[in-house]
Amino acid sequence: MNEPSCVFCRILRGEIPSQKLYEDDATIVVRDVNPQAPLHVLVVPREHVQDIAGALQRQGGEERVGKLFSTAVRIAADQGLAAGGFRLVVNTGSDGGQTVGHLHLHLMGGRQMTWPPG
Ligand code: AMP
Ligand code: ZN
């Protein structure tokens, strides 16, 4: 279900412009509007689901979440990050720092990351 007010659903419907790197029948990959690294993209399932816990509860959820990760790793390789490395982040819920309630993976790379994150 496409949630009318959700920013990623609005991007998926073409109501908000985005810089798309990749899309298939299940997923889109767009540049983050507020990048935190030289490469910072969001891997977003077309299906509106609140977060990774909700996604995993659905029929076929583990397979679909697995495909999201494999898409992210493939994009990382396509963008030349395989050798140097990259970071995948799934912010979940309020304490997790999630600000958009539509599951997405952050793929970041192109600089040295630090730990712990804020
Ligand atoms: P999170 O805090 O994990 O929920 O991440 C949401 C991300 O979406 C943030 O990094 C925002 O910069 C990004 N974001 C919000 N609106 C847009 C937009 N219209 N296009 C691309 N990225 C966006
Ligand atoms: Zn949505």
Residue 2 has pLDDT above 90, yes or no: no
Each residue's pLDDT tens digit, 6-21: 999 999 999 999 999 9
Residue 118 belongs to a domain: no
Token pair belonging to 7: 């920013």
Residue 115 belongs to a domain: no
CB-count exposure of residue 76 (10 Å: 0-12, 13-18, 19+): buried
CA 25 to chain centroid, in Å, comes to 15
Residue 117 belongs to a domain: no
With the most atoms of ligand 1 within 8 angstroms of its CB, the residue from 34, 41, 87, 106 to mutate is 34
Rg (CA), the chain: 14
C-alpha 6 to ligand 2 mean position (Å): 5
Higher pLDDT, 118 or 1: 118
Each residue's pLDDT tens digit, 58-96: 999 999 999 999 999 999 999 999 999 999 999 999 999
Residue 35 belongs to a domain: yes
Closest residue by Cα to atom 13, ligand 1, is 32
Instruction: Output the pLDDT for position 43.
Output: 98
Residue 47 belongs to a domain: yes
Residue 83 belongs to a domain: yes
Q: What is the pTM of this model?
A: 0.98
Closest CA to 47 of 106, 93, 102: 102
Active site residues: 104
DSSP 104: -
Residue 83 belongs to domain with CATH number: 3.30.428.10
Residue 78 belongs to a domain: yes
Q: How many domains does the chain have?
A: 1
C-alpha 100 to ligand 2 mean position (Å): 8
Q: How far apart are CA 19 and CA 33, in angstroms?
A: 9
Residue 101 has pLDDT above 80, yes or no: yes
Q: How far apart are CA 52 and CA 104, in angstroms?
A: 8
The tally of CA atoms less than 13 A away on the side-chain side of residue 77 is 5
Residues with CB under 6 A from ligand 1: 7, 16, 18, 30, 32-34, 42, 91, 97-100
C-alpha 100 to ligand 1 mean position (Å): 7
Residue 114 belongs to a domain: no
